[in-house]
Chain A
């Protein structure tokens, strides 16, 4: 069964600290993995997209890693800021030529950064 699991479900950290969010998936065949940031009351914003051949990608203070062998990804946030408080969603795309793309969503990690 194709699934995406994220951990932790929620996280509280002090401003300036680093943190790492996890995404494990069983989706196969894998096409790509996306991390989104969603502020309360807004639509998700794309942070990174990684294909099978990529094992790390950065977007400012956000760095995503991918281990396609173990089917794990992580999102590392460096020097957190209050504005990083949001929900972070992992989405894995299944790629199949005859059925097209299918998308599988994690339930998200809620991050709260406190001063």
Chain B
């Protein structure tokens, strides 16, 4: 298995632009997690899905952030409009069940100018 796949690996955009991050979980996993990591705040859980259904989005910082999981093999995290303070590394992780080992993707490094 290729593991969790994220794209793009790097994204540089200007303030106000829409950003879409993509994630393909490991085949067979039914839980998917979106994280954000910065030097200042460390690792933060933004939202997670179980069986394609959002379970807890309390970590989503603002309405500018939205996430979808249209099927078991694909999820997106969208920021519209983006701001410089959104600059961070965004990780996607998947697991088989909420309480089991999570496997992280390589992350997307987002820079908003």
Contacts and interface: CB of A to CB of B under 8 A. Distances in A.
Interface stretch (A21-29, A64-72, A76-84, A101-109): A101-109
A105 B99 contact: no
B98 interface: yes
Contacts of A7: none
Interface string A84-98: 000001010100000
Size category, B interface: 20 to 34
A99 B105 CA distance: 27
Interface in B52-70: 55-56, 58
Binding site secondary structure of chain A: strand
Interface string A43-71: 11110010000000000000000000000
Given A100-B55, A103-B45, A108-B42, A46 B99 contact: no
B107 interface: yes
Interface residues of A, number: 21
A76 to B, nearest CB: 20
B104 interface: yes
B99 A43 contact: no
A31 B56 CA distance: 16
B44 interface: yes
A101 B106 contact: no
A43 B98 contact: no
A1 interface: no
B44 A101 contact: no
Given A49-B100, A105-B43, A107-B42, A43 B91 contact: yes
B96 interface: no
B1 interface: no
Nearest to B6: A43
B103 interface: yes
B107 to A, nearest CB: 5
B7 interface: no
Contacts of A44: 43, 91, 104
Interface of A: 31-32, 34, 42-46, 49, 89, 91, 93, 99-103, 105-108
